[in-house]
Amino acid sequence: MNNGMNDRYTRGWQKLKEIDGDAGEKVIESLKDIAPDLGRYTIEFPFGDVYSREGLDLKSREIATVAALSAMGNATPQLKVHINAALNVGCKPDEIVEVIIQISVYAGFPAALNAATVAKSVFIERGII
Amino acid sequence: MNNGMNDRYTRGWQKLKEIDGDAGEKVIESLKDIAPDLGRYTIEFPFGDVYSREGLDLKSREIATVAALSAMGNATPQLKVHINAALNVGCKPDEIVEVIIQISVYAGFPAALNAATVAKSVFIERGII
Amino acid sequence: MNNGMNDRYTRGWQKLKEIDGDAGEKVIESLKDIAPDLGRYTIEFPFGDVYSREGLDLKSREIATVAALSAMGNATPQLKVHINAALNVGCKPDEIVEVIIQISVYAGFPAALNAATVAKSVFIERGII
Amino acid sequence: MNNGMNDRYTRGWQKLKEIDGDAGEKVIESLKDIAPDLGRYTIEFPFGDVYSREGLDLKSREIATVAALSAMGNATPQLKVHINAALNVGCKPDEIVEVIIQISVYAGFPAALNAATVAKSVFIERGII
Amino acid sequence: MNNGMNDRYTRGWQKLKEIDGDAGEKVIESLKDIAPDLGRYTIEFPFGDVYSREGLDLKSREIATVAALSAMGNATPQLKVHINAALNVGCKPDEIVEVIIQISVYAGFPAALNAATVAKSVFIERGII
Amino acid sequence: MNNGMNDRYTRGWQKLKEIDGDAGEKVIESLKDIAPDLGRYTIEFPFGDVYSREGLDLKSREIATVAALSAMGNATPQLKVHINAALNVGCKPDEIVEVIIQISVYAGFPAALNAATVAKSVFIERGII
């Protein structure tokens, strides 16, 4: 039995649920009939390996993720998941907005404006605004 | 006299020096004979406006910037400035490495590997490794 | 009172209305409950500072913006605003189409085809085609 | 009469239909009232010139295209056309999934997950899953 | 004999020399032993087809190209060629700088700063600054 | 002892050497003093997991990788490694050139031209041209 892989999968699945909540589970679920192994890797590498690392707190990790996804501008579904995730791990709504404002400097105003639109939809869904 | 603009410029210049140190000044200096107004805007908007905001500590701001620039992968000189800046405002070298490792998840391994190369050059220059 | 900031804001707001029309105001409006300062910066820096500059006519500025947004390919709402803006400041529909055709050379056919789809929707809304 | 151009157009049109099927024709059709010359170039250069070349089989060409569009992440309509095209020229569904999994390495998990979503919609439309 | 192709090639070659000058010829030359057909296509499609079109003057075409390449940020050699090209077809140095400043709004300050560095090297080579 | 991880590492290391040769080992070596875990992940996930999968031959995998990296345009060191890798696993030089020519369609001529420059340097180093 490949216990090493199972460890990563189990640890990753717990981390995914802790950080992304239901939204993360839905992503994995939606991959089942098209690319289940991509679902498994998503659990094992990002969550079982990377988010399980020490050396940087989860709040800072989500700030990094929201910044990266906002700057890239081509990953709207993931940005939505991770604005939720940032809130889940303790970021304040205002801190997320600050990250998005800062992206206007590095990736331009369209990237920041589009990320703000995603944040707005999340904040409304969660009753924050 | 346009005191408003002068306030932003003065505040931005102080912030630029606090965060980026000499590297920031060199960027502004190098713009003098080609696009001095771009240098002025760089001081006023990113530093006088954005980095001077409350609501997110400078350490988190630099984590966001290092993440965004690593993910974009086409801004090597700025990534170098901001890995230095992250260290200047209190990020530990290991925290910067964690941000870069995390970028492998969102923007792929080449983005992370190239950011690690930049971080390595900064850490060597500063005698960290 | 910070007159300098007010000057930039007032000038920017006029410029935004001149160039983007109602679409620009809606962008600012939509930011009110999520990131009002991002709305203010959008008025002050892009419009109060940059579009208010001399040295390049507004028609050429919009050609540059349509080209940049078409090439980036991840800013559809902004591309729509600026295809309208280009028409507002005097670009002929055919000139906008020429810019988009040229983008096929620099950013590939998908970028050009997707920009053409946006242009088509604008031209239909305005009764041009 | 410009026989050279006609040759490229005729060859390209056949190639477009062979590879992209109806979806390709619809793209050209949709350009008719906005940028017909962009439609003509799309037939002549990508299909009349490039896809008509020897030296690489069509299956490998579509693997390259699916990989490139998945990695770029800002060309969803074209990715859909070319996942269909890959199937049209003999790629097995599993091979397309493998290409998408591999993109997680080079362009990150969001790019791979979003490409998997597109592949899923194509596979459902074609009754593959 | 394929006169159609020869027409595009001849027209493209003249246009390439008119716009890009020696720098364009060097690009084609450097492709000779690796991908001569890519060199031929570069002459035929961008220059024989697109830059030879009416409907937009060459100055506006180069403004669009400099804007697109500055925003993309991953095409430094081509940006250098086209800042030269813009000057060759009548853009004033200040107009090129204005385009680059404007890119800070749409693609962020790093894109604008790196484009300014390229422009500076061109302006120095040509004795403009 | 975590045998599962060791399996992936061992398998990945063999795959890395088979595909990338010395160049791959150098990448891992260069990470030792800055981010050794990123080196370990590079072996485990891309090579131990993904390249070790069945369902797509290595030649097609490298075609996908060269296409993706050429299109992204911001990963020159990795593109060089993988043009070598493509040759290592049986791609003919002409097939690599075909992939690069095809990228001109999807990501534009600058991306294709810059990839051709990288291919040329590899082909010269290996005595192919």
pLDDT tens, residue by residue, A93-104: 999 999 999 999
Could you read off the pLDDT of F44-60 as tens digits, one per residue? 999 999 999 999 999 99
Rounded CA separation B58/B35 (Å): 28
**CB–CB of D90/D53 below 8 Å?**
no
pLDDT for position B5: 53
Could you read off the pLDDT of E104-121 as tens digits, one per residue? 999 999 999 999 999 999
**CB–CB of C72/C110 below 8 Å?**
no
pLDDT for position B6: 77
Q: Do B106 and A75 touch (CB under 8 A)?
A: yes
Residue with tokens 């075609």: F63
Nearest CB among C97, C100, C113 relative to D27 is that of C113
Residue E82: strand, helix, or coil:
helix
User: Which letter, b or e, does each residue of E103-114 get, where b requires 16 or more Cβ atoms within 10 Å of its Cβ?
Assistant: bbbbbbbbbbbb
Mean pLDDT, chain A, whole residue set: 95
CA of A51, closest CA in chain F: separation in Å? 13
**In this predicted model, which residue has the larger pLDDT, B5 or E64?**
E64
Please determine, for residue F121, whether its predicted confidence score (pLDDT) is greater than 50. Answer: yes
User: What amino acid occupies position E38?
Assistant: L
pLDDT for position C6: 77
- D56-129 classified as CATH 1.20.1290.10: yes
Q: Do C94 and E55 touch (CB under 8 A)?
A: yes
Residue with tokens 């492709």: E31
**Number of C-beta neighbours around residue F1 at 10 A:** 7
pLDDT for position E32: 97
Name which of B73, B64, B66, B67 is nearest B111 in CA terms. Answer: B73
Residue with tokens 């239901």: A22
pLDDT for position D5: 53
Q: What is the mean pLDDT of residues D9-37?
A: 96
Rounded CA separation C32/C42 (Å): 12
Could you read off the pLDDT of D63-106 as tens digits, one per residue? 999 999 999 999 999 999 999 999 999 999 999 999 999 999 99
Name which of B73, E51, D50, C107 is nearest F111 in CA terms. Answer: C107
Q: What is the mean pLDDT of residues E82-94?
A: 98
If DSSP states are collapsed to H, E and C, what string results for chain A? CCHHHHHHHHHHHHHHHHHHCHHHHHHHHHCCCCCHHHHHHHHHHHHHHHCCCCCCCHHHHHHHHHHHHHHHCCCHHHHHHHHHHHHHCCCCHHHHHHHHHHHHHHHCHHHHHHHHHHHHHHHHHCCCC
Provide the CA C28 distance to its chain's centre, in angstroms.
13
**CB–CB of B31/E123 below 8 Å?**
no
Rounded CA separation D64/D55 (Å): 14
Q: Do A2 and F5 touch (CB under 8 A)?
A: no
Q: Which residues of F touch B100 (CB under 8 A)?
A: 35, 38
Nearest CB among C106, C109, C111 relative to F110 is that of C106
pLDDT for position F2: 47
User: What amino acid occupies position F64?
Assistant: A
Residues in CB range of D12: below 8 A, 6 or more apart = D43, D44, D45, D46, D47, D48, D49, D51, D52
Q: Which of C33, C38, C41, C114 would you mutate first to test chain A, the one with the most A CBs within 10 A?
A: C38
If DSSP states are collapsed to H, E and C, what string results for C7-72? HHHHHHHHHHHHHHCHHHHHHHHHCCCCCHHHHHHHHHHHHHHHCCCCCCCHHHHHHHHHHHHHHH
**CB–CB of B114/F77 below 8 Å?**
yes
Instruction: Using an 8 Å CB-CB cutoff, list residues of chain B that contact chain C.
Output: 2-8, 37, 41, 45, 49-50, 53
Domain boundaries along the sequence of chain A: 1-53, 56-129
User: What amino acid occupies position A13?
Assistant: W
Provide the CA E111 distance to its chain's centre, in angstroms.
17
pLDDT for position F6: 77
Rounded CA separation A92/F37 (Å): 31
Please determine, for residue F95, whether its predicted confidence score (pLDDT) is greater than 70. Answer: yes
Q: What is the mean pLDDT of residues F104-109?
A: 98
The tokens describing E48, both together, are 């024989």
What are the pLDDT tens digits along chain B (129 aa)?
444 557 999 999 999 999 999 999 999 999 999 999 999 999 999 999 999 999 999 999 999 999 999 999 999 999 999 999 999 999 999 999 999 999 999 999 999 999 999 999 999 999 999
Please determine, for residue A2, whether its predicted confidence score (pLDDT) is greater than 70. Answer: no
User: What amino acid occupies position F59?
Assistant: K
The widest CA-to-CA distance across chain B, in whole angstroms, is 51
Could you read off the pLDDT of C6-30 as tens digits, one per residue? 799 999 999 999 999 999 999 999 9
**CB–CB of C88/C69 below 8 Å?**
no
pLDDT for position B1: 40
pLDDT for position D1: 39
Q: Number of Cβ pairs closer than 8 Å across A and B?
A: 103
User: Which letter, b or e, does each residue of D91-113 get, where b requires 16 or more Cβ atoms within 10 Å of its Cβ?
Assistant: bebebbbbbbbbbbbbbbbbbbb
Q: Which residues of E touch D12 (CB under 8 A)?
A: none
How does residue A6 score in pLDDT terms, banded at 50, 70 and 90? Answer: confident
Residue D129: strand, helix, or coil:
coil
Residues in CB range of B107: below 8 A, 6 or more apart = A68, A72, B70, B71, B72, B73, D107, D108
Could you read off the pLDDT of C68-123 as tens digits, one per residue? 999 999 999 999 999 999 999 999 999 999 999 999 999 999 999 999 999 999 99
Could you read off the pLDDT of A48-100 as tens digits, one per residue? 999 999 999 999 999 999 999 999 999 999 999 999 999 999 999 999 999 99
